[in-house]
Amino acid sequence: MPPRVVVVGLASDFGCQVQMTNIEDQLLDVLGRIELSYWQLASSGHMPEEYDVAIVEGAVTTGEHVALLERIRATASAVIAIGACAVTGGIPALATSGSLDDHYACVYGEGDVEVACGRIAPMPITSVIDVEYRVPGCPIDMDEFTQVLSRALQGLSDCIPREPMCAICKTLENICFYERGEVCLGLITRTGCNARCITLGRPCTGCRGLAEDANLESAILLLAERGVSREDLMTRARLYNTLEEAFTR
């Protein structure tokens, strides 16, 4: 029997799930190797009680999300976190930078904060359960996703890249944005997306999270020489990485 796979969305814009529909040629190959038991974005059925692999998009923002993740962890033999929201907290985690009650009031109106009952400070799913695989990015890179899913189906370990984006940019011979006087977070951001934004002419905004091999202090000194303050760098990096310890100091 092929592996049973479910795709679940928490708090996000569902952009990564939409991205999954864009793999075209690879989609048929992937679907031919699995039993897609549930896909929240594409089906109206109920999530089954048994499955082998769970693909989860989105940040945790409610007690219901926590309970759902705990059930998923107790059921699935492998969990794949996809997208910045699931991996680092992403855009939803920006709400943690101020009073949650103030944020709720903006949405529900003064005096109606109780409507948000059950809401919790946004966090990545990795703060609630252990996951075997991570596919960072906003949205995810589909080549990377298909490779990670293939590894999950084969029972291979995760191999998320450690190096900063600059490593791949050099091999692609991209012109560095710092030579153009623009700030790019590729010097501290995890590679793995083949530097798509940079290759298309847009500086990296850090959606893949801080690279393990990044030298943040050297990056701060380098940017200071170019008139970019430490706080400016931190502010830019927090867009997708508000909860990253290195950017909370």
The dihedral through the CA atoms of 6, 12, 14, 20 has a sign that is: negative
| Residue with more model confidence, 208 or 24 | 208
What was the pLDDT predicted at 34?
87
Distance of CA 181 to the CA centre of its chain: 28
Question: What percent of the chain shows pLDDT beyond 70?
Answer: 90
Looking up tokens 């450690």 gives 162
What was the pLDDT predicted at 97?
77
Spatial separation of the C-alpha atoms in residues 212 and 229, rounded to whole Å: 22
What was the pLDDT predicted at 117?
56
Where residue 181 falls among pLDDT bands split at 50, 70, 90? confident
What was the pLDDT predicted at 246?
84
Phi, psi of 186 (to 5 degrees): -65, -25
pLDDT score of 16 more than 90: yes
* Structural fold of domain 4-154: Rossmann fold (3.40.50)
Give the model confidence (pLDDT) of 109-168 as tens digits: 765 555 555 678 899 999 999 999 999 999 999 889 989 999 999 999 999 999 999 989
123 beta partners = 60
Per the structure block, which two tokens stand in for 138?
């906003």
Least trusted range by pLDDT, from 24-28, 122-126, 189-193: 24-28
Helix (H, G, I), strand (E, B) or coil at 3: coil
Question: What percent of the chain shows pLDDT beyond 90?
Answer: 66
Compute the C-alpha angle 147/150/151, nearest 5°.
90
Give the model confidence (pLDDT) of 66-113 as tens digits: 999 999 999 999 999 999 999 999 999 998 876 777 766 777 676 555
Looking up tokens 């109780």 gives 114
pLDDT score of 27 more than 80: no
- For the chain, the structural domain boundaries read 4-154, 166-247
pLDDT score of 24 more than 80: no
Length of the chain, in residues: 249
Spatial separation of the C-alpha atoms in residues 99 and 92, rounded to whole Å: 14
pLDDT score of 32 more than 60: yes
Where residue 52 falls among pLDDT bands split at 50, 70, 90? very high
| Residue with more model confidence, 210 or 43 | 210
What was the pLDDT predicted at 245?
85
Q: What is the pTM of this model?
A: 0.90
What was the pLDDT predicted at 110?
66
What was the pLDDT predicted at 25?
65
